[in-house]
Amino acid sequence: MPKQTIYMWIDFTSPYSYLAFTNLRKAISDLKRKDFRIDPKTFQVYPDFNPEKPEQTKAFKKISTEEKKVFDSSTVHKMVKQAGLRYEFKNIIPLNTIHPHKLLQLAKTYDDNYEVAIDLVKLLFLNYWSKGKDISNPDELLKISKAAGMTGNDTSQVFEASKYLEMVFLDEQEGLDHDIEGVPFIIFPNGEMVSGVASIDQFKKIIKEIPVLVEPEIEIIEE
């Protein structure tokens, strides 16, 4: 079946990205829309973050505290519960996300529908937000990539390869061309854009407005 592409810019230390990613996938699944694929695009909210600088770590934790207040609010808490997610804000590690983003770029080369990439994104979010793992650590990332089905020999070299760093920058530049200031940011096949978190029902409403893409019939000419 031919696929329509939903473009979604995310960052793994963004709790909003995790919720929006989960809600969007749930909406597509509930509506049984097999004509969609999600293209997960990289966007670092804090590209220059250095965990060894105390002032940056302090700022990271301050932002995290403010985000937790938002997620403890009744509206967002209800969405989190509906999505079946668990956020452990107290266990998250301040880190730079360039390595997981490079790994994501490699995962996107595995198949045309980005199924391996989607599995990787899901596991990266889960390990960071629910398990408190250091997803900037190459050894941890190799474990996660294997669980996502990435078995190629090039996985261990991805963190030093300039090719995937360039791909990260290209995704980010494309996002900036769309005036993205933060994540999540989503562009649907009909051109509709969503900045920030939407509920499952809100995503369903958008998806229902997009016609189903059907495979063209092949005319058989009999001699």
The pLDDT tens digits of the residues spanning 29-85 come to 999 999 999 999 999 999 999 999 999 999 999 999 999 999 999 999 999 999 999
- Mean pLDDT estimate for the chain: 95
Q: Which CATH number fits domain 4-208: 3.20.20.220, 3.90.650.10, 3.40.30.10, 3.40.50.450?
A: 3.40.30.10
Q: The pTM is what?
A: 0.94
The pLDDT tens digits of the residues spanning 91-139 come to 999 999 999 999 999 999 999 999 999 999 999 999 999 999 999 999 9
What's the pLDDT score for residue 25? Answer: 98
Domain ranges for the chain, please list them. Answer: 4-208
β-partners of residue 195 are: 185
